[in-house]
Amino acid sequence: MATHLTDRHIRILIDLIDAWSGKLTWDALCEKGAEVLGFRPTRQTLNSHKAVKAAFDAKKKHQKTSLMPSKRPGSLAIAEQRIRKLESEIARLTYENERFIEQFIRWQYNAQKRGISRALLDDHLPVIDRDSAEKKT
């Protein structure tokens, strides 16, 4: 029987994907996951978790769009400055993401308190007929 992934396992797998270098495939991720987790998750199991699939898809997209190797800085001072800028950006985005998570949890609680179902919240947005104002009948 397949082992179910815990939130901790999912975080570990997402960290693996973020740090991945080289060609990323589901099979390679399953193999690396086996080394780290102590059991080999299946591709179907990984694909069924939205967070893992989103991280996988984002990494694949990033790998496809950034085929050109990045230009190396002329000096260590420039590299250090770039690293500090990127670390600052990561810290800012992490903070911003935490605020969004808090906001989502608050909205989720308020929606549940008022009896709004998840199906209703996940309902598609209405289609806007932009041509209707331009048509003359």
What pLDDT, in 10s, does the model give residues 108-120? 999 999 999 888 9
Query: Residue 104 has what pLDDT?
Result: 94
Domains in the chain, number? 2
Distances from the Cα of 84 to the Cαs of 20, 35, 79, 90, in angstroms? Answer: 21, 32, 9, 10
| Segment 77-92, tens digit of pLDDT | 888 888 888 888 888 9
Q: Residue 85 belongs to what domain range? A: 72-124
46 lies in some domain: yes
Query: Residue 135 has what pLDDT?
Result: 59
**Do 29 and 7 lie in a common domain?**
yes
**Do 44 and 103 lie in a common domain?**
no
**Do 11 and 31 lie in a common domain?**
yes
**Do 102 and 57 lie in a common domain?**
no
| Segment 119-136, tens digit of pLDDT | 898 899 999 888 766 655
pTM (predicted TM-score): 0.53
CA gap 56, 41 in Å, rounded: 15
Residues 17-56: b if buried by 16+ CB within 10 A, e if exposed: beebeeebeeeebbebbeeebeeebeeebbeebeebeebb
**Do 57 and 79 lie in a common domain?**
no
Is the per-residue pLDDT at 64 higher than 90? no
**Do 6 and 48 lie in a common domain?**
yes
**Do 91 and 59 lie in a common domain?**
no
